[in-house]
Structure 1
Amino acid sequence: MLVVGAVAVAYVVCAVRAESRQGWPLRRTSAFVAGAALVALALSPPFDAFAHDDFSGHAAQHLLIAMVAPLLLVLGMPVTLLLRALPHAAARGLGSLLNTAPVRVLSTPLVALLLSSGGLVLLYFTDLYRWSTESPTVHLLVHVHLVLSGFLFAWVIVGLDPSPHRASVRTRLITLAAAIVVHSAVSQLLYAGLWVRVDEPTRQLQAAGSLMYFGGDIAELLLALVMLLAARPGYRPAGTRVPATARRR
């Protein structure tokens, strides 16, 4: 939670700095702070204890940190903010980093899909879930993966921030559709208790499966809506003007 709070504070500092230079939309800051607050809430000790004691609480936690919060964080356009708020040399360095091979690979829809949906499959169809309930280290690593992979997937699909490899709208829609299929299948298998390696009461599995199914549908629908709005011809979201020194040459 301290890390989440530090990231939120750093964002606000950068937003204030960007506002004093060229302006920065308040709604972007509000979206990012709201996303960070959701992550902090879901990972707070009371919520984490609820998730540990009741698998439906785990499903709610997963939904918040891997799907809902990442969309809000992406709406905050953190990369664009950094390019505007950082000093000249640092902004150039970030622009160069965005064009490195690792970032290019990570920013492809297929990789983002494998990290997010693939992680979901590993969590429930292997012993990873059981390990996460027994080992604090594994528990922490699973949460970190859920947050980061959820953010990466939303960042790649929505496409508001500058990216070295922006896939076409069709490719992103297909990727999102694949994620929906995987998420729906996992949710229904959890509900039915089939093939999953989750040793929890049937009632909790059914409640978790229903929450992940319907809650996931809403989150993915919002993700698709934001992506399609951002993909409109001539559309430029507020805050997209980047210093020339940070643009790709």
Structure 2
Amino acid sequence: MHHARHDAGTAVFGVWWPALVLLACAGAYLLLARRARHRNPARGWRRWRSAAFLAGLGLLVLALLPPLAPFAHTDFRGHMAQHMLIGMYAPLGIVLAAPVTLLLRNLPAARARQVTALLHGRARLLAHPAPALLLSTGTLLLLYFTPLFHLAMQHPAGHWLLHAHFLLSGCLFVHVIAGPDPAPARPGVPARLVCLGLAVAAHALMAQAMYGGFFVDVHAPISQVQGGAVIMYYGGDLAELMLAAALVATWRPVRRRPEDRHGPGPALGSLEVG
């Protein structure tokens, strides 16, 4: 009897532990936002950023808990819906919430300089669109068009590694395209729009190849594979449209100083945290 209760408790914890982790993340963000508003009332912290962070975590809860999580283990359409939520929609809310900027505002000056130095140093390469595009979109070719997906699905650890990859690579891509946090190596808006366009085209081509059964290596009924392809095609388009809107919404023209008015030409523009 005691063993049965213990096993049931372990099973419940195994299902719901992501919610506990995400709840802790939400509490930490809200605490930092509250401290930022109290430490500097003039600058404060915009509540819509807190709402965006909570929305991103809410999408992760939807993806990682029942009923979608068990469905994703048995149906490829559920897996693809989970992939869209974790890798494309949740990162929009999380990244647009500017968590790194919020952290910098709460750290002591010396620690904040260390984090800034890291962003300007080893992490500089990751702020370029090419690695972000390769990690977020290019790896999907390996996943769905090689035996990698089948191998990952055979082991619980592989399943969670996929979730981690989707989330981290998705956050990196959103950060490179339209993230408000510091990104010293990030190119201008035209280059980022080209990168976003490449991602749109790659997702569309992969979804069409998957629907037609060309080179796809997913061990699932044809109806499930085609349903997953439809989710990837239309879900990816909507997410990338939202990302393009975020890029346009956060773009601001550079305000030139009076002494620069007779310079060589007009400034192109920049992004700023608002």
Q: Structure 1 length as normaliser, TM-score?
A: 0.91
**Whole-angstrom CA distance in 1 between matches of 2:111 and 2:248:** 32
* 2:244 corresponding residue in structure 1: 224
- Inter-CA distance 225–183: structure 2 relative to 1 (3 Å threshold): same
**Whole-angstrom CA distance in 2 between matches of 1:145 and 1:233:** 34
Q: Which has the higher contact order (CA 8 A, sep 6+)?
A: 1
Q: Deviations over 1:191-241 (max 9, x none)?
A: 112211102111111111111101110110110111122123157442xxx
Q: Deviations over 1:21-61 (max 9, x none)?
A: 12111100010111012112201243221111111111110
Residue of 118, 140, 143 corresponding to 1:97 = 118
CA contact (8 A) 2:137 2:202 kept: yes
* 1:10 corresponding residue in structure 2: 28
CA contact (8 A) 1:113 1:179 kept: yes
Residue of 156, 177, 195 corresponding to 2:197 = 177
Runs of at least 5 residues in structure 2 that lack an aligned partner in the other structure = 1-17, 255-270
**Whole-angstrom CA distance in 2 between matches of 1:157 and 1:210:** 25
1:114 maps onto 2:134 in alignment: yes
* Percent pairwise identity: 48
**Whole-angstrom CA distance in 2 between matches of 1:159 and 1:41:** 23
1:127 maps onto 2:161 in alignment: no
1:39 maps onto 2:60 in alignment: yes
Instruction: Determine which structure has more spread, i.e. the larger CA radius of gyration.
Output: 2
**Whole-angstrom CA distance in 1 between matches of 2:112 and 2:35:** 14
CA contact (8 A) 1:5 1:40 kept: no
**Whole-angstrom CA distance in 2 between matches of 1:27 and 1:116:** 26
Runs of at least 5 residues in structure 1 that lack an aligned partner in the other structure = 239-249
* 1:73 corresponding residue in structure 2: 94
**Whole-angstrom CA distance in 2 between matches of 1:192 and 1:8:** 41
**Whole-angstrom CA distance in 1 between matches of 2:214 and 2:69:** 26
Residue of 20, 27, 51 corresponding to 2:48 = 27
Instruction: Indicate the SS of the match to 1:164.
Output: coil
How many correspondences in the alignment? 237
**Whole-angstrom CA distance in 2 between matches of 1:142 and 1:42:** 13
CA contact (8 A) 1:159 1:166 kept: no
